Amino acid sequence: MSNIGQIHRSEYEITDPKSPVSCAEAPGRIHFLGEEGQPQSTFFLSAAIDRYIRLAVSQRKDNSFRFFASDLGERKRSTVANIKYRREDRWANYIKTAIFVFIDLGYPVKGLNFTFSGDIPQHIGLASSVAIETAAATALKHLLRINISETELAKRLFQTHISLFGKEVPLVDYQVSLLAKKDQFLVLDCSSEGISCEIKRVSSPFSKYKFLLVDSRAFRAGTEKELASRRADSLKGLKYLTKNHDGTAFKDFAPNDLLEALGNFPEQIRRRTMHIVEEIRRVNDAVSALERNDVPAFAKTIFHSHESLRDLYEISCPEVDWLVKRAQEIEGAAGSRMTGLGFGGCTYAIIRKELAEEFKKRLEEYERIFGFQPVIYEVKTATGARIIPERKKVKA
């Protein structure tokens, strides 16, 4: 990626090398399991990936805010007195989320310049917008010398995003973006109120494997409506469960509780509910397998999860199923599954390094069958948001 500090200095004509520019990066993320559960109250198995948003910020002498997306060549602006969500500001609204966090905490935020760029693949569920927010907050925290923990910052960003955009984004996305570590999975147990997550770290046993993200490029339409329908069905299922059992969230119930209550469930609600309850069990099974370094057991759990997304929650599609099947055919694959909102989008595959090219070769038939090519990204697990040094300009 480009030198974000030098791009920033050039954009805002900062010629004094002593003028402070704070640079930060924040990673994208993958949810390996748990993404389709009860909003803000479920288990996730997640990791950050080595695709980033990199952002630079410096102070101005006036009360203006300037925003520059260097990859897009786009600029936005606002003022301290008039800063608010504006639909036409698009990506700049995510930077505003970070600004509002520190304004709400009472810090004297004045004029600022921002520049960002990134290489997180877009529109396939890798949390690039959260990465913009956490990169901006990390850079601002450093520039303004603000003392706030990553855990508290994640909570503040989550709450501010809801206030600014009027819709929720999972708290876990902020936790992963800020707290992840290289070569680790995060197990996130979210409270029913959606305002806290207990985090457990599990070492990755996949040093001899590659993580491959495959963008199916399948056309998606009506995704929000379909997902809303499934969430409504799931909440009805939870209501059936809580009638005769103690508990307020899906994670309070075991699959046996669901089997006992099946007589009260309409078929569609039964399928949606079964997926969520069993997915919680699968997270626990996957964590146990990781702790034992039992790769075959982990792979079995991941493949079963995708089958459940396909057959019970019904948010997969032929293109995505085809991609997962090709991974499943590779001896030594440690799992493949859809990730993201569904109805297209992205899969991940964990493939032994020496077999990765064989897997890619098997995808060559995809274009003949579906009429377009998938896009493959190799990624590694990564550490969360951090301050990065401003690289000095190399003299010719």
Residues belonging to the active site:
173
Torsion of CA 95, 186, 1, 75, to 10 degrees: -10
Q: Of 239, 193, 261, give the one whose Cα is nearest residue 42.
A: 193
What distance in Å separates the CA atoms of residue 301 and residue 283, rounded to the nearest whole number? 8
Cβ-count burial 141-161 (b if 16+ within 10 Å, e if not) = bbbbeeeeebeebbbbbbbbb
For the chain, how far is it from start to end, CA to CA, in angstroms? 20
Share in percent of the chain as helix, strand, coil (round to 5): 45, 20, 35
- What token pair was written down for 110? 């004045």
Q: Is 228 helix (H, G, I), strand (E, B) or coil?
A: helix
Beta strands in 163-265 (DSSP E): 184-190, 197-203, 209-215
* Residues in CB range of 259: below 8 A, 6 or more apart: none
Check if the beta carbon of residue 32 is closer than 8 Å to that of residue 337. yes
